Amino acid sequence: MLIRHLRRFACALAMTALPLSAAQADTFVFTAIPDEDETKLIERFQGVADYLAEELDVEVRYVPVKSYAAAVTAFRNNQVQLAWFGGLSGVQARRLVPGSEALAQGAEDESFQTYFIAHSSTGLEASDELPAAIRDRTFTFGSKGSTSGRLMPEFFLRESFGEAPEDIFARVGYSGNHTRTLRLVEAGTYEVGALNFAVWEKELADGNIDTNAVKVIWRTPGYPDYQWTVRGDVDERFGEGFKERVRTALLALDDPQLLASFPREAFIPADNDDYEPIRKVAEEIGILQ
């Protein structure tokens, strides 16, 4: 632990003493889409940074970003070399950086789900089908760039109603992240919302949901979602075989506490072809041109 703290302190000193481009020359930098509260993300990904630094024997730094689009932009501009993306943001990033690859996904990400939730005042109950009675309610997505918080919910809404969300609901909002979606519906600010099932299940297990105020009313079919994506040029910068070392390190991550913070049971192999369904849906509804 002391070695890790000394490594991070030395890295911080180097970053203040050198120009940005020079300071980053030997530092492997990664980011993640801001799908939850920032404090939770910093705790989670600092743990990942420490782990990767030990496994890869290089300085590793996690850089938080304010939006999904900012994560994609940082990856495109080589400000970060690795990112924890959602399905859609990963597709977007890999289109912008030829040669980039999906390396690993959570075991749960092979068949991810969105939960549609409703405030108790609506009287809506759990159903095996998307309830027709959500029409004319107020509704919030998560971030506009979210797979589980926007892309796939919109796809299933269009599939069920044959209309755009703005024509289905009285008002449509975008909360910015899954935790915020949960809180807005729980408070009754929006009557219905769509969020990442893993966030709901973790918050429920932690006792952070008022189940008298909000409930799950529908669970979507499964689809591929989150993944670690790396730039294709990392071997040129960090040495031959570095990309495969990153892949191996991610797949070997087995710290129960760190995995639980995602939350994921394990990381498993992934590749770009796994996300073809996401690309096709995004093009179908006009998010990808």
What is the distance between the alpha carbons of residues 262 and 266, in angstroms, rounded to a whole number? 10
| Last residue of one domain, picked from the residues 169, 201, 219 | 219
- Give the pLDDT score at 198: 94
Cβ proximity of 143 and 153 under 8 Å = no
Of 168, 96, 184, 179, which Cα lies nearest the Cα of 130? 168
Q: What average pLDDT does the structure give for the chain? A: 91
Do both 146 and 213 map to the same domain? yes
Indicate the Cα dihedral angle 221, 285, 275, 245, nearest 10°. -120
Domain residue limits at 175: 113-219
The whole-model pTM stands at 0.85
Please state, in angstroms and rounded to a whole number, the distance separating the CA atoms of residues 231 and 266: 22
Could you read off the pLDDT of 35-65 as tens digits, one per residue? 888 888 899 999 999 999 999 999 999 999 9
**pLDDT surpassing 80 at residue 25:** no
Q: CA dist 110 to 199, 255, 265, Å?
A: 16, 21, 12
Q: Is the peptide bond before 263 cis (omega within 30 degrees of 0)?
A: yes
Residue 288 above 90 pLDDT?
A: no
Which of 193, 219, 245 represents a domain boundary (last residue)? 219
Query: Do 41 and 184 fall into the same domain?
Result: no
Count structural domains, the chain: 2
Higher pLDDT, 3 or 189: 189
Same domain, 211 and 171: yes
Model confidence band, residue 220 (pLDDT cutoffs 50, 70, 90) = very high
Check which CATH number belongs to the domain holding 49 and give it. 3.40.190.10
pLDDT exceeds cutoff 70 at 122: yes
Residue 289 lies in a domain: no
Which of 219, 238, 260 is the C-terminal boundary of a domain? 219
